[in-house]
Amino acid sequence: MPDTAPHIPLIALAGNPNAGKTTLFNALTGLSQKVANYPGVTVERKEGGWTVGSQRSRLIDLPGLYSLDATSIDEHIASDVLRGEVAGSPRPDAVIAVVDATNLERNLYLVTQLFEYNIPVVVALTMIDVFEKQRHEIDIDKLSASLGVPVVTVNAAANRGLSELSDAVATAISFQQIPGLSVESEAENGRIFARYNFISNAVQESVIHNDQAAHGLSEKIDRVLTHKFFGLLILIAILLLVFQTIFTWASLPMDLLEQGFGALGGAVKTALPEGVLADLLVDGVIAGVGGILIFLPQILLLFLFISILEDTGYMARAAFLMDKLMSRVGLHGKAFLPLMSSFACAIPGIMATRTIENQRDRFATIMIAPFMSCSARLPVYTLMIAAFFAGQTVFGFISLGAVLMLAMYALGIVVALVVAFILKRTVLKSPPPPFIMELPPYRMPNIRTVFQNMLTRAWLFVKRAGTVILAISIILWALMYFPQQAGNSEALTRPDAEKAETMNVTESEHIRNSYAGQLGHAIEPVIQPLGFDWKIGVALIASFAAREVLVSTLSIIYNVGKDETEESPTLISAIREAKNERGEPVWTPLTALTLMVFFVLAIQCMSTVAVVRRETNSWAWTLFMVGYMTALAYFAAFVTYQGGRLLGFS
């Protein structure tokens, strides 16, 4: 930047988790937020515009922190930002310390550490309404005097105190009010003790606590919600309710989106002359990106619920309840929710692992999240069960289909736990993560925070659909489309009645000769021990894009037309009756079971691969995941098929 450019002040926003920092940041910056990652790490960097005094400034939201001792990656980044050591970000001109009045002493600990950075500090005191409702009293001027920095009370949800905060920050910058506390002690423990002594004195001088009121409501709620028995029941009930709601509420918008993309495809087809361009746009771009974007309603809803659970304080309780079980396989209690979310879709689940501080624990959770049977596997399970296990029962009254479905979910969970156990003792070896976690008081969720949270996540998802997924869709389309043969255009000139059938015949003929078909033939020797032929091979290759693509690809290969769904009788009868060159059936119940096992364990979802790349920031981990999951899926399918044959099944 040239020296003549006006200096735009940079102001950092620091505070404990749950102190109301996000709400304040949203209130100050409104819609001018930019969310990105810090270079080289997956810590989120949020920045927005804010007017300080009368001057335009940049407000940077630091991650939620309890201290600045650089033990976690968040603390490390925050400390670097405050020293101006992050690329593209100068040293901040001032820092706003967000302090929760109801939890004053622990919140002020971070403030005493901020004093050591030689930057003007302004304390923004939040939750003052709750604090006063508990009939405590606080003398703001005295607190400000004993801390040695300005203190402003704010209520971000009601937009109160924001202009006062702006003025205080402007004054602090122009008068360079650098706080004066420095804690001298040789030992680290001695410094912590000295800071807390300073805080205790400051609080004693300015606050009169009402001992009667304290912490009543949250503790009462917790008597039920973290009850040894009812707590677990309620947790399960809440999760069931969330997933049930996601599936029912999302189905209508998902159908609408699907129809919308179908109509869009149709419109493009009529508007454009027939040819490669129209096919590329309709079958490649619109079908590929649309196929992923129809999951957007589910993702929005899941993040709506996650944001609400987080904002109310329940999420910490869920981790508290589940930590013992999770720690048995070496995971953190916080891994529970991302894993549960992955039953809907691994993408939001993997994105939700950001709450896990330790990188190794977070990576271990990411590596096993795709084993949770997501909604995209359902069409595959449904098709296989409908074709080969329909109407059969176990013990005369339990439907075999339901048992198989449950078995597939259980297989995913068991494998995930075993893999986590192994990973945490080998490549991700680290002591069991410490579990030292605040249980914040229950609060009504802030609507603005909840929605902003949800939209930020959703936008990340849409952006990915428009880039990585678009590229891979085009590649897959090209593999199924080329090389083009003369026969295809001939079919188009025939009369309409004949045309439909001929097109389907030529389409499957076309797939046989396409690069995808050639690939299917090429991998046939590899998948033959699993009982799969080249046609299943083509479907497997295509379903790398997304699992449910298997159904539509099989429909194309077996000439049943593209509009078939997993329950359509023609696709079911087509795969039941399919014969190989020797006249034997291609599909048997054992083949179907093998395919289901393969789908439980294989990572056939390019969006998941893309999100893992993004969240781990490492191709090595991404490829490791693709490699080990594929190997595991192959091995399990091999054991299923060959073992089944040895036992006399077919």
Partner 1 sequence: MGDEASERGEESMRLPDIETGSSADVVTVHGNGAVPRRLMEMGLVPGVRIRVVKSAPFGDPIEIRLRGYSLALRKTEAEAVEVAV
**Do 148 and 112 contact (CB within 8 A), yes or no?**
no
Q: In terms of CB distance, is 219 or 498 closer to partner 1?
A: 219
Q: In terms of CB distance, is 18 or 298 closer to partner 1?
A: 18
**Min dist. Cβ of residue 72 to partner 1 (A):** 9
Strand order in the sheet with 10-15: 34-37, 44-52, 55-61, 10-15, 94-100, 121-126, 151-153
At 247, is the secondary structure helix, strand, or coil?
Answer: helix
Q: Which amino acid, residue 117?
A: Y
- Position 214 contacts partner 1 (CB under 8 A): yes
Residues that bind partner 1 (rule: CB under 8 A) add up to a total of 45
* Piece of the chain touching partner 1 by CB under 8 A; list 317-325, 370-378, 408-416, 494-502: 317-325
**Min dist. Cβ of residue 315 to partner 1 (A):** 12
**Do 336 and 314 contact (CB within 8 A), yes or no?**
no
> Which distant-in-sequence residues (6+ apart) come within 8 Å of 242 by Cβ?
302, 305
- Position 120 contacts partner 1 (CB under 8 A): no
- Return the residues of window 436-475 that contact partner 1 according to CB under 8 A: 436-441
**For 586, which DSSP code?**
S
**Min dist. Cβ of residue 332 to partner 1 (A):** 10
* Piece of the chain touching partner 1 by CB under 8 A; list 51-59, 321-329, 515-523, 612-620: 321-329
- Position 336 contacts partner 1 (CB under 8 A): no
- Position 20 contacts partner 1 (CB under 8 A): no
* Piece of the chain touching partner 1 by CB under 8 A; list 122-130, 268-276, 429-437, 520-528: 429-437
At 445, is the secondary structure helix, strand, or coil?
Answer: coil
- Position 435 contacts partner 1 (CB under 8 A): yes
- Return the residues of window 230-249 that contact partner 1 according to CB under 8 A: 231-232
- Token digits of residue 582: 């020797």
- Position 201 contacts partner 1 (CB under 8 A): no
Beta strand 121-126 with 151-153: parallel, antiparallel or unpaired? parallel
- Return the residues of window 77-96 that contact partner 1 according to CB under 8 A: none
Give Cα separations from 105 to 66, 122, 435 (angstroms): 12, 17, 21
d(CA 495, CA 509): 20
Which residue from 262, 337, 259, 245 is spatially nearest to 298, judged by alpha carbons?
245
d(CA 414, CA 80): 41
Return the axis-axis angle of helices 470-481 and 534-542, rounded to nearest 10°: 160
Among 61, 74, 93, 323, binds partner 1 (CB under 8 A): 323
**Min dist. Cβ of residue 73 to partner 1 (A):** 13
Q: What are phi and psi of 114, to 5 degrees?
A: -65, -30
Among 6, 184, 228, 486, binds partner 1 (CB under 8 A): 228
Our CA angle for 495, 284, 341, nearest 5°, is 130
d(CA 311, CA 444): 8
Tell me the per-residue interface mask from 272 to 311 with partner 1, x by CB under 8 A, - otherwise. ----------------------------------------
* Piece of the chain touching partner 1 by CB under 8 A; list 27-35, 153-161, 217-225, 582-590: 217-225
**Min dist. Cβ of residue 146 to partner 1 (A):** 17
Query: Where on the chain is the footprint of partner 1 (CB under 8 A)?
Result: 66-67, 69, 71, 102-106, 109, 188-189, 192-193, 196, 209, 214-215, 218-219, 222, 226-229, 231-232, 316, 319-321, 323-325, 327, 333, 432, 434-441
